[in-house]
């Protein structure tokens, strides 16, 4: 998300564009909702196929756009989204009946959440765009993309290619769109638009806070500051290889990449030697200070000019001499917090390095690291001791604890059985609504048909006196039908003559039949206008607007908040205040 300094003079144009795109997406939403499963699967499959075909081209554009990362690794991320994530979501049922719980007599039906506002970061611009488009379309949600200002070209090109693929496969026009005039004001306006139903926010803490304060449901992702603990029983060579592989993948741009290494003291020399053999360079105290000054800003944020750069580039920028084959820089630190700048999330191939006496102290150190910017996100443990592994699982405030695998790739489901995803929830620890890896399931609401399993008569407390039931006891179908007619007539509806006659003949034989089978016709507009409404919903206001009518209310009218907002905006209500009794 653009910050205040990046917000350009086109703020008003950006706000206007956000409103237009959200409105168009809202118009396309009913058409997407009406698609059957076969159509949705065809659209998603075609989008994934085109994304895979252009994976390398889009990766090159992302690097050119941002200056971040490695083309080969960005290509892998694009293919991960277009192939691995696609194969995971492909068999999901997202239309109509998705599950039947026969023993509980419940039928679950999928309902799309609605229009999605998707914020795309500069760190993983094309892969995140591919991923969010796929899960939104699979859930039958229209989507509006707000790109990071430093990655507009690559994100726009990705949306252009995939939008055409979706349309060719049967998606409605405007189901996918992308802002071209990007500003802070425009992004905020998009998230706050009435037509937007849910927000997928990927970016810094400012973005996540803005998403959660927009008044809309939002899936935001907190920062990552993943520690990797190497316990004395670990396969040390593999542990070091995994950590370096995770930290150097796309030059450390994924928020789940390792940021610190915590090692048992009695194996620390072996670990150091393994790092040195595999391309790690340990800094001395002076070099650590120089790296801190060059890499970390006074606000305790990574220097944007060094984010996603190689270890050798970073060392050169900071005046540190390292071998040309250096893959990762390691800075030994005695503590965590503001006094130790390199203990934060760094988004580049730099690791802080800690030694501890045993797994208990290692547990405490990892917790300190998580508290300093990675609560709820990710960590790793490298160990063969199942008891220690379980202790970390029970006590660490991270919702993805990866065992003997890189955090970067394990957290997103590339090297583990976790749901493959490019958006990782941090749960309550990280101020997020979920701890899940986000998938189409999070963009679907489930409505349920629930049949009676425990009849009310069986739940009633027995009485001391047996009462003989008579044919006239309780509510008859005719009595219920008459009361419903009276209520609907009061609201401006009346039953057609044909169905009134039919219901009279069949009332007794259809005593348990659904009342929804009755047909009603609208009364005259004059009757609607003259009688104060008992209850007004947002749909009532929209219906009145479409007919250029006003809604009469009084002090007793119950009005939903959404209806009140919309009515005030368009001056729909006519207030007939009841006279006070004397």
pLDDT average, residue stretch 529-534: 76
Report the pLDDT value the prediction gives residue 477, as an integer from 0 to 100. Answer: 53
Question: pLDDT category, 481, cuts 50, 70, 90?
Answer: low
pLDDT average, residue stretch 320-326: 97
Residue 463 lies in a domain: no
Whether 206 and 244 map to the same domain: the answer is: no
Residue 457 lies in a domain: no
Report the pLDDT value the prediction gives residue 7, as an integer from 0 to 100. Answer: 42
Q: Considering 376, 400, 416, which residue would you say is the last residue of a domain? A: 416
pLDDT of 465 > 60? The answer is: no
Report the pLDDT value the prediction gives residue 456, as an integer from 0 to 100. Answer: 86
581: buried, middle or exposed (CB in 10 Å: 19+, 13-18, 0-12)? Answer: exposed
Q: What is the token pair recorded at 315? A: 């060392």
Report the pLDDT value the prediction gives residue 462, as an integer from 0 to 100. Answer: 62
Contacts of residue 374, defined as CB under 8 A and 6 or more positions apart, other chains included, come to: 222, 223, 224, 225, 226, 227, 259, 345, 398
Residue 469 lies in a domain: no
Report the pLDDT value the prediction gives residue 411, as an integer from 0 to 100. Answer: 96
CATH value at residue 27 = 3.40.605.10
Q: What is the DSSP letter of 327?
A: -
How do residues 61-102 score in pLDDT, each as one tens digit? 999 999 999 999 999 999 999 999 999 999 999 999 999 999
Report the pLDDT value the prediction gives residue 166, as an integer from 0 to 100. Answer: 98
Whether 353 and 260 map to the same domain: the answer is: yes
pLDDT of 521 > 80? The answer is: no
Whether 275 and 132 map to the same domain: the answer is: no
Least confident interval from 262-266, 319-323, 373-377, 378-382: 373-377
pLDDT average, residue stretch 164-183: 97
| Cross-strand bridge partners of residue 100 | 107
Whether 217 and 230 map to the same domain: the answer is: no
Whether 404 and 520 map to the same domain: the answer is: no
Residue 458 lies in a domain: no
Report the pLDDT value the prediction gives residue 28, as an integer from 0 to 100. Answer: 97
Burial 320-334 (b: 16+ CB within 10 A, else e): beeeeebbbbbbbbe
Least confident interval from 115-119, 219-223, 434-438: 219-223
Whether 244 and 284 map to the same domain: the answer is: yes
More confidently predicted of 228 and 463: 228
Whether 277 and 215 map to the same domain: the answer is: no
According to DSSP H, which parts of 199-310 are helical? 205-212, 236-248, 268-277, 285-295
More confidently predicted of 491 and 101: 101
pLDDT average, residue stretch 156-171: 98
Mean pLDDT of the chain, nearest integer = 87
Question: pLDDT category, 578, cuts 50, 70, 90?
Answer: low
Cα 8 to Cα 478: distance, rounded to the nearest angstrom:
67
According to DSSP H, which parts of 108-170 are helical? 125-138, 152-168
- DSSP labels for 110-124? EEE--EEEEE--SSS
| Pairing outcome for strands 196-201 and 115-119 | parallel
Report the pLDDT value the prediction gives residue 543, as an integer from 0 to 100. Answer: 86
Report the pLDDT value the prediction gives residue 206, as an integer from 0 to 100. Answer: 73
Q: Among the options 35, 178, 255, 318, which is catalytic?
A: 255
CATH value at residue 233 = 3.40.309.10
Q: Are 199 and 442 in contact (CB under 8 A)?
A: no
pLDDT of 360 > 60? The answer is: yes
pLDDT of 412 > 60? The answer is: yes
pLDDT of 332 > 60? The answer is: yes
Instruction: Classify 431 in phi/psi space as left (phi over 0), alpha (psi -120 to 50) or beta.
Output: left
Q: Considering 400, 426, 447, which residue would you say is the last residue of a domain? A: 447
Report the pLDDT value the prediction gives residue 576, as an integer from 0 to 100. Answer: 80
Q: What is the token pair recorded at 325? A: 């084959």
Measuring CA to CA, how many Å separate 293 from each of 334, 339, 342, 452? 17, 12, 10, 68
Report the pLDDT value the prediction gives residue 31, as an integer from 0 to 100. Answer: 97
Is 255 catalytic? The answer is: yes
How many independent structural domains does the chain possess? 3
Question: pLDDT category, 147, cuts 50, 70, 90?
Answer: very high
Report the pLDDT value the prediction gives residue 501, as an integer from 0 to 100. Answer: 42
Whether 238 and 357 map to the same domain: the answer is: yes
Residue 291 lies in a domain: yes
Residue 103 lies in a domain: yes
Residue 471 lies in a domain: no
3-state secondary structure 398-427: EEEEEECCCHHHHHCCCCCCCCCCCCECCC
Cα 17 to Cα 35: distance, rounded to the nearest angstrom:
27
pLDDT of 529 > 80? The answer is: no
The helix or strand, by DSSP H or E, that contains position 356, with its residue range, turns out to be strand 350-356
Measuring CA to CA, how many Å separate 316 from each of 149, 295, 323? 28, 12, 11
pLDDT of 468 > 70? The answer is: no
Q: Where in the sequence is the domain holding 337, given as residue range(s)? A: 226-416
pLDDT average, residue stretch 398-417: 96
Whether 164 and 230 map to the same domain: the answer is: no
Report the pLDDT value the prediction gives residue 515, as an integer from 0 to 100. Answer: 34
Whether 59 and 154 map to the same domain: the answer is: yes
Whether 246 and 274 map to the same domain: the answer is: yes
Report the pLDDT value the prediction gives residue 487, as an integer from 0 to 100. Answer: 53
| Cross-strand bridge partners of residue 494 | 521
Q: Are 545 and 571 in contact (CB under 8 A)?
A: no
Residue 410 lies in a domain: yes
More confidently predicted of 299 and 400: 400
pLDDT average, residue stretch 141-158: 96
How do residues 259-314 score in pLDDT, each as one tens digit? 999 999 999 999 999 999 999 999 999 999 999 999 999 988 899 999 999 999 99
Report the pLDDT value the prediction gives residue 432, as an integer from 0 to 100. Answer: 85
Least confident interval from 140-154, 214-228, 517-531, 543-557: 517-531
Whether 400 and 287 map to the same domain: the answer is: yes
Question: pLDDT category, 579, cuts 50, 70, 90?
Answer: low
């Amino acid at each position: 998300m653009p910050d205040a300094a990046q917000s350009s003079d086109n703020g008003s144009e950006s706000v206007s564009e956000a409103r237009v795109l959200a409105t168009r997406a809202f118009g396309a939403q009913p058409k997407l909702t009406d698609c059957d499963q076969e159509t949705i699967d065809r659209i998603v499959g075609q989008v994934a196929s085109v994304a895979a075909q252009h994976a390398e081209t889009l990766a090159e554009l992302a690097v050119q756009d941002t200056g971040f990362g490695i083309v080969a690794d960005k290509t892998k991320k694009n293919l991960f989204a277009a192939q691995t994530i696609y194969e995971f979501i492909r068999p999901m049922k997202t239309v109509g009946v998705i599950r039947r719980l026969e023993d509980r007599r419940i039928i679950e039906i999928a309902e799309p959440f609605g229009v999605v506002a998707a914020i795309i970061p500069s760190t993983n611009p094309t892969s995140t765009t591919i991923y969010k488009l796929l899960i939104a379309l699979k859930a039958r949600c229209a989507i509006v993309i707000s790109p990071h200002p430093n990655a507009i070209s690559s994100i726009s090109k990705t949306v252009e290619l995939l939008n055409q693929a979706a349309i060719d496969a049967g998606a409605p026009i405007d189901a996918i769109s992308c802002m071209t005039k990007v500003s802070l004001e425009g992004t905020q306006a998009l998230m706050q638009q009435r037509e937007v139903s849910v927000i997928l926010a990927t970016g810094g803490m400012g973005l996540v806070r803005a998403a959660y304060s927009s008044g809309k449901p939002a899936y935001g992702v907190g920062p990552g500051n993943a520690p990797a603990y190497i316990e004395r029983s670990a396969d040390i060579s593999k542990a070091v290889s995994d950590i370096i592989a995770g930290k150097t993948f796309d030059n450390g741009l994924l928020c789940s990449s390792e940021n610190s290494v915590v090692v048992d003291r009695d194996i620390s020399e072996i670990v150091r030697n393994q790092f040195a053999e595999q391309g790690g360079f340990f800094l001395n105290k002076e070099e650590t200070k120089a790296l801190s000054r060059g890499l970390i800003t006074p606000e305790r944020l990574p220097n944007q000019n060094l984010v996603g750069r190689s270890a050798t580039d970073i060392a050169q920028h900071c005046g540190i001499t390292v071998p040309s084959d250096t893959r990762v820089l390691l800075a030994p630190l005695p503590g965590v917090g503001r006094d130790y700048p390199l203990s934060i999330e760094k988004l580049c191939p730099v690791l802080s390095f800690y030694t501890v006496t045993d797994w208990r102290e290692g547990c405490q150190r990892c917790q300190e690291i998580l508290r300093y910017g990675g609560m709820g996100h990710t960590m790793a443990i490298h160990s063969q001791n199942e008891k220690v592994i379980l202790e970390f699982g029970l006590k660490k405030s991270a919702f993805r604890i990866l065992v003997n695998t890189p955090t970067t790739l394990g957290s997103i489901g590339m090297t583990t059985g976790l749901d493959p995803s490019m958006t990782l929830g941090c749960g309550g620890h990280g101020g997020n609504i979920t701890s899940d890896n986000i998938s189409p399931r999070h963009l679907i609401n489930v409505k349920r048909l629930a049949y009676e399993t425990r009849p009310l008569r069986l739940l009633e407390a027995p009485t001391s006196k047996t009462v003989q039931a008579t044919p006239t006891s309780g509510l008859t179908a005719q009595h219920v039908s008459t009361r419903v007619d009276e209520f609907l007539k009061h609201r401006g509806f009346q039953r057609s003559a044909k169905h009134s006659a039919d219901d009279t003949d069949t009332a007794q034989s259809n005593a348990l039949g659904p009342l929804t089978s009755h047909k009603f016709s609208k009364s005259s507009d004059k009757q609607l206008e003259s009688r104060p409404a008992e209850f007004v919903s947002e749909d009532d206001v929209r219906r009145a607007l479409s007919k250029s009518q006003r809604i009469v209310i009084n002090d007793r009218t119950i009005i939903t908040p959404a209806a009140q907002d919309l009515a005030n905006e368009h001056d729909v209500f006519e207030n007939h205040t009841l006279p006070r009794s004397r």
